[in-house]
Structure formats: C-alpha cells, structure tokens
Structure 1
Amino acid sequence: MAERKRLTDEPVLPLALAATFLVVTVVQYFSADLVVPWLAIALLVVASPLAVVSFFPWDGFPRWLRITLAAGYSMSTAVLLPIAQTTIAPGLAFVASMVAGKRLDRRTAITVAALGGVTAAIAVWIVGRLHPTPNTWSWWAALSVAAPAYAGISQRERAEALHNAKRAAAEAERAGRSEAREAALVERSRIAREIHDVLGHSLSGIAMQLDMADALQGKGRTGEANRAIRRARALAVDSITETRHAVHALREDTLPLEKTLELMAASESAAFEVTGEPGPVPTETAHAVIRAAQEALTNAAKYAPGSDRSITLGFTGGTVSLTVVNGSGGPPAGTGGGMGLVGMRERVALLGGSLRAGPAGDGWRVDVEVPR
C-alpha cells in the first residue's frame, strides 16, 4: 500500500508525456525518413526502457544508478533528436531532462540536463553538416533541451516540502498526544494523592473522636461522648463527599472546564451559561472551580431543595470566574455548617483567587474568581 501510494503521488505530467512520445514515435518510425536508421532504432531501443523506468520511484536506487539512468536517458534522447526525423521524437529529450530534475538532486540534475543539451547541440550540428534537411534544428535551439530540468526540480522540491510538512504535522500531533497523556498522568497522580490525604486525615479524625467518645463514656460524660460520635459521623460524611468530588474530577479532567461544568449543570437540572471567550485553564484552577461548583450545588440541594439553580462561568482577561445562584424555595444554600465552602475558600486563596458566599434576594450566591 505504501509503495502504491508513493507511485500515485508521483507527478504524472512527465510520465504521460514520455508514454505519448514513445507510442507516437514508434508508430512514426515505420514511415519516417531516418538519417541513420540502425542508430535511430538502437537509440529508441535504449531510450524506451529508460522511459518506462521513469514511471516508477527511484528512492530505493543507489545514487550512482539514479545518475546512470538519468544520464543514459538524457544522452540517448539527445542524440535521437536530430536523427529520428519524426514530428514528436525530439520531445523525448525534453522529457528526459525533466525526469533528471525530478529524480536527482539539484546540482546533479542540472549537470545531467546541461550534458544532454550540449550533446543535443553537437548531434544537431553534426547531422546538419552530414545530412542537411529543411527540418534540421539549429544547434543553439537544441541547447533548450536542458530547460525542463528546472520544472522537474521544482516538482521534486515541492513534493519534498509537502512530505516534510505532513511529517512535521504528524510528529507535532504525536508530541501533543504524548504531552496530553503525561499531563493526564500527572493530574491523576495529584488527585490520587489528594484522595489519600483526605482519607488519611478524615480517618485519623474519626479515630480520635471515637477514642474521645469511648473515654468520655467511661467517665460517665454521656452527652459529650455523643457529641464526639456525631463529630466522627460528620467527618465520615465529609470524607465521602470529598472523595466523591476527587473521583469526579479524575473522570472529568480530560474535558475543558466549560464542558465539565455544562455536564454537571445538566445532571443537576441547573441553568448554565458561559460569558467571554473560553480558553485553556490550568489544571489546579479548573479543579478548584469544579470543586466550588460541586460544593455550591450540593449545599443548594441540601438547604434549598426544589429551588432554581444557575451556574455562570466567565472568562475575562487573565481571570476565570464562577457564579452559582439558587433562588427561593427554602433556606439559603450554605446556611448549615458551611465547612465545605470554608475549605473551598482556602483552596481558592492558595491559587491567588477569592470566594465569596452570601445572600442574594431570598436565595444564596457563591462567587469565585481565580487567575488563569
């Protein structure tokens, strides 16, 4: 398949011209007045297979063989130019020059084409002296045989430039995918560490509260023991919530921030809007914004069930902003313990941003601004 594609990509103009010239020349040979018949036929026999070979890529040939083929094609057709005495045979020399430009490097191609032009001029001059005819070429016109080499060189360099551009694009795409995979692995490692820290701290706190409850219960301080147990339960609930959020981020970190929030809003039946021009957001920033949105929606569902909720994500200059609002329908979101939003405020502050939460009419509003 690769070889077939390379053959298809070859410029077909010189190949089609060579095929046409060969067929027409062979047909005309039977009626043409050949200057030296045996030499004309011998040169055609030499040039024909070389013309056929020019149909195929030469990339696998060693350099000396490519030069030999191009020079043989150019020289044989250059001598054939004045002795064939047909209307189209001289065109083979021009096609040979174009093939040299296409198959050889620039300096070698120019040398081979110039050699062909000089050979054609000498052959024309000799034939004109020994066998002058009304159709005899002038020697200086025969030098133009070398000109098509520049067309061949142009085609080859254009094909090489296109190939290099495609290869560079493919390499850039592979590099981009590799960087994306590396970034995803780094982010997953960070989230895994966060889950580990959340569970470690929460379980340590739960163990301490339970030990305290056991000690208080042994001293007959039942009320305080029960409060310690309730604190342990609250820590367990918070730990589950934090772990769920981290797992959610682990699943969504490959999506753009606006897409992740759009999916989150759809799952919570909340309105969603994006203002400004969306752009890339650092992973830490995106994670903090996602966590803040999750916490605000959780509070809205817990403390204002049934209320209308909306999420607005804004991109302005070097800042990304998030606004989560819930309307009437119950107590304002966040009027409970509020420890989740306190933790989010601290997380956002570490990134140089701010989180504000407060009443908005008869509902509640959470605003987040983080540099990006």
Structure 2
Amino acid sequence: MNAEPDDTRPAGVRADDAPAGTPARFADELIRPFVVGTISVLTLIQLVEHPPVRLPWLTWGVVVVAIATGVAPSILPWRRLSDRMQMTLVSVFMAAGAVSFSLAKDTAAPALVLIASVTAGEKLASRRAAFTIVGAGTAATATVSWVATALHLPHESPWWVSLIVCLPLYIGLARRERADALAIADLAARQSRRAAASEAREAALEERGRIAREIHDVLGHALSGIAVQLDMADALYVAGRGQDANEAVRRARALAVSGIGETRRAIHALREDTLPLPETIARIAHGSTAGFEVRGEPGEVRVEVAQAVIRAAQEAITNAHRHAPGAEVRLLLDYTDRLIRLTVTDTGTAEAGAPPNHSGSGMGLVGMRERASLLEGTLYAGPTEPPAPGWTVRLELPR
C-alpha cells in the first residue's frame, strides 16, 4: 500500500526523528514498552492460570502474535523500516488484537486492539493507511464478536462494544501531530542557531577584511616607501654618494615616524566604531583645532561607511596641516535621506592651489578613492570653488 502525497505528514519530519529528551522519545522509550509489557505479562499470566476452554491453540496464537507485533515499534529501528513494512506490522497487530478481543475476553488481551489503534494513528506516516487499517480492524473485531456470540463462547459481550476500537485512533493521531509539531519546532530552532552562527562567521570575516584594509592602507604605503628609500640609500652609498645616502635614510626615518602616527590614528578609529559617528568626528576635529558642524538628522550608518568617513577626515586634516600650515580647517558632516557627506575645507596658503604631496601619508587620496569606490561612493579633492581660496575634500557615501 503506497500512500498518496496528500496523506503524509510534513515532508522531512517524522515523530521518530524527534531529538532525545522530547516527549515523543520519552513515550517511545519508556511509556510504550511499559504499557505493552504490562498488558502482555498480565495476559500471559491470566491465560496460564485460566486456560481457554474453547479454541485454546487459536487463542494462544493470536495473543502471542499480538504481543510480538505490539512491542515491535518499541524494540525495532522503526524509522529505518519501509512504509510497507510498518503498515504490515501494524495490520498484523490490529488483526491479532481483533481476534483476541473476543477469544481472550477474560484477560487483559482486549486492550491490545486498542493499543493497535493508537499505534496506527501515531506510527504510520499515511493517515489514509491508518484509517483503513483501523476501520478494517474495527469491522474484524465486530465480526469476531458476533461469531463468538453465535458460537456461545464464554464471556461474550454485545457486538457493538467492539465499535470503540476505532476511537483510540484519534489519540494516536493527536500524539503524532504533537510529535510532528515538536520536531518541526526543534528543526526550526536548530536552523535558526545555524543561521545565527553563519551570520556571526560572516560578520567576523567582514571585520577581518576591514582590519586587513586598515593594515594595508596604514602600513603598506609607509613600508613600501621605507623600502624604496633604503634601497636608494644602499645604491647611493655603493656609488660613493654618502651625503645623498644619509638623506635617503633620513627620509626613510620620516616615513617610519609618519607610519607610526597613522597606525595610532587607525587603531583609535577602529576603537571609535562603538561611538556615534558625529561624536567621533567631533573628537578628531577638536584634537586638530578644526571647526566642526553637523547638518541633517544623524542616524545609523554601516560600520564600513563610518570607518571610511573617519579615515577620510583624518587624512584630509593631516593634508591640510601639512600643505596649508596655519590655515583654518572646517569639517561639515551632512546627513540626507540616502547619503552621508563629509566636507573638509581649509582657507589655504600660497601653496594651497598645488596638489598635495602624499609621500608621507598612510592612506592618501588614492586610498580614500578606493574606499569610496568599494562603498559605491565618490570622492572629490581639489581647489575650493572661486572666489573662496583653499582646498576642499568631499566624500559622499550611501547610508
């Protein structure tokens, strides 16, 4: 008997797959064996003490078969059995219980057919198969009861009493539905934990990537410049140009000092991620004696966007102080519905119109543009629009 797709419980979820510790597993491993075992022992003791007078071999046979198939769901690896094998075992259990309902009426055996009805509803994946087996079992029980009454077997009862056999089916169905619900809930919880762990790993990888970019931006350029200067110093020293070699070494030292300062600022910026962005920029501006203003409604921005704004502010202030000493520097942080804009301007000096030299910068304009491009933003760096003097750096990033 093959069940139709609409007869089965939720796909991929079986009550037998419930994790250890759930009520379904507890019922299977303790309650079911105890109930079936108790009824079986009582039935056998009662049959030994009061042997059946009529049809003894048939009575013993159906009772033994009912007991064997009744304990099968508890001792066999039920979920590994095929659907056909499961239905066969339950059908035999139901048939043997139906016959013993009348033949062993003075024992506990009649309870076996009721347990068979519960088992059909709880253990079979197909509702149609469960109803079919229990319906056939109810009819068989009524028929055997009628035949027993007609043969004047002892302890006969009205045939209509056998109709109660179908009622425990609904108990089994309810238990199965509850077990399925518990299994689905457990599966959803495990999937949620896996999703949370995956998100945590993804966040960790993103953070590692961000720190790697910081290390590259801050130390990569400085170390490359130091290596070039030292190679030049070595070549000049070999060529007998000691004074030029010393100058190259001094430039290498200056690059190292600049790199240390940039590293400290980068570490500070990484630690400032937990602070609101306006507060972080305000601290940077205050530490550099620069003016600062916020426009718009500050709100949450992505960590990588905040980091890019912080690094751009630090680099722009450093360039302004290096190439326009004594100039007034102002920072404007502007929030719109879709963008966050940082504008850094200085009043300029005689050198303000010249493109800045970034040889001592750990990030530079190239690094800032790379960050802006990765975040789908733009960076402008150039002279302030006439007639205002000075230099302007403007970073625009989507929020």
TM range (shorter): 0.5 to 0.7
Q: Give the direction of change, closer, same or farther, for the CA distance of 1:49–1:237 in structure 2 (3 Å limit).
A: same
| Cα displacement (A) at 1:157 | 2.8
Q: CA deviation digits over 1:243-283, x for unaligned, max 9?
A: 4555777xx6xx9931799xx9xxxxx9xxxx9776753x3
Paired residues for 1:318-357 under 5 Å? 352=377
CA distance in 1, matches of 2:227, 2:147: 105
| Cα displacement (A) at 1:198 | 1.7
Q: Give the direction of change, closer, same or farther, for the CA distance of 1:8–1:182 in structure 2 (3 Å limit).
A: same
Query: Aligned letter for 2:88?
Result: T
Could you say which structure has the greater relative contact order, defined with CA pairs below 8 angstroms and 6 or more residues apart? 2
CA distance in 2, matches of 1:177, 1:353: 30
Choose the corresponding residue for 1:55, options 61, 70, 74: 74
Secondary structure of 1:55's aligned partner = helix
Q: Tell me if the contact between 1:117 and 1:144 (Cα under 8 Å) persists in the aligned partners.
A: no
Secondary structure of 2:156's aligned partner = coil
Secondary structure of 2:90's aligned partner = helix
Choose the corresponding residue for 1:43, options 62, 79, 93: 62
Query: Aligned letter for 1:80?
Result: S
CA distance in 1, matches of 2:317, 2:147: 96
| Cα displacement (A) at 1:110 | 3.9
TM-score (norm 2): 0.54
1:129 maps to which residue? Answer: 150
CA RMSD of aligned residues (A): 5.9
| Cα displacement (A) at 1:130 | 2.5
Identity across aligned pairs (percent)? 26
CA distance in 1, matches of 2:335, 2:158: 78
1:242 maps to which residue? Answer: 262
Within the alignment, does 1:287 sit opposite 2:303 as a pair? Answer: no
1:301 maps to which residue? Answer: none
Q: CA deviation digits over 1:189-224, x for unaligned, max 9?
A: 54454356423553378569979x99xxx8xxx9x9
CA distance in 2, matches of 1:315, 1:79: 83
Q: Tell me if the contact between 2:98 and 2:141 (Cα under 8 Å) persists in the aligned partners.
A: yes
Q: CA deviation digits over 1:87-127, x for unaligned, max 9?
A: 86433323223223333322444443344333323323322
Q: Tell me if the contact between 1:74 and 1:97 (Cα under 8 Å) persists in the aligned partners.
A: yes
2:192 maps to which residue? Answer: 169
Listed as ranges, the gaps of 5+ residues in structure 1 are: 265-269, 299-312, 323-336, 356-367
Q: CA deviation digits over 1:283-317, x for unaligned, max 9?
A: 3x24325546888999xxxxxxxxxxxxxx99997
| Cα displacement (A) at 1:161 | 1.9
Q: CA deviation digits over 1:27-69, x for unaligned, max 9?
A: 3663779685734443332333433333357355331443333
Paired residues for 1:8-157 under 5 Å? 10-13=24-27, 16=31, 19-20=34-35, 22-24=37-39, 26-27=41-42, 30=46, 36=54, 38=56, 39-56=58-75, 58-59=77-78, 61-63=80-82, 64-86=84-106, 89-106=109-126, 107-131=128-152, 133-134=156-157, 136-144=159-167, 146-157=169-180
| Cα displacement (A) at 1:238 | 1.7
Listed as ranges, the gaps of 5+ residues in structure 2 are: 1-16, 281-285, 287-296, 319-332, 343-355, 381-394
Query: Which of 162-171 and 28-37 deviates more?
Result: 28-37
Q: Tell me if the contact between 2:113 and 2:165 (Cα under 8 Å) persists in the aligned partners.
A: no
TM-score (norm 1): 0.57
Q: Tell me if the contact between 2:232 and 2:248 (Cα under 8 Å) persists in the aligned partners.
A: yes
Q: CA deviation digits over 1:60-90, x for unaligned, max 9?
A: 5331443333223222222222333258643
Question: What is the number of equivalent residue pairs in this alignment?
Answer: 325
Q: Give the direction of change, closer, same or farther, for the CA distance of 1:192–1:79 in structure 2 (3 Å limit).
A: farther
CA distance in 2, matches of 1:233, 1:87: 101
Q: Give the direction of change, closer, same or farther, for the CA distance of 1:22–1:119 in structure 2 (3 Å limit).
A: farther
CA distance in 2, matches of 1:37, 1:87: 15
Secondary structure of 1:105's aligned partner = coil
Q: CA deviation digits over 1:9-38, x for unaligned, max 9?
A: 535457626633652564366377968573
Q: Tell me if the contact between 1:100 and 1:152 (Cα under 8 Å) persists in the aligned partners.
A: no
| Cα displacement (A) at 1:152 | 4.5
1:257 maps to which residue? Answer: 273
Q: Give the direction of change, closer, same or farther, for the CA distance of 1:134–1:49 in structure 2 (3 Å limit).
A: closer
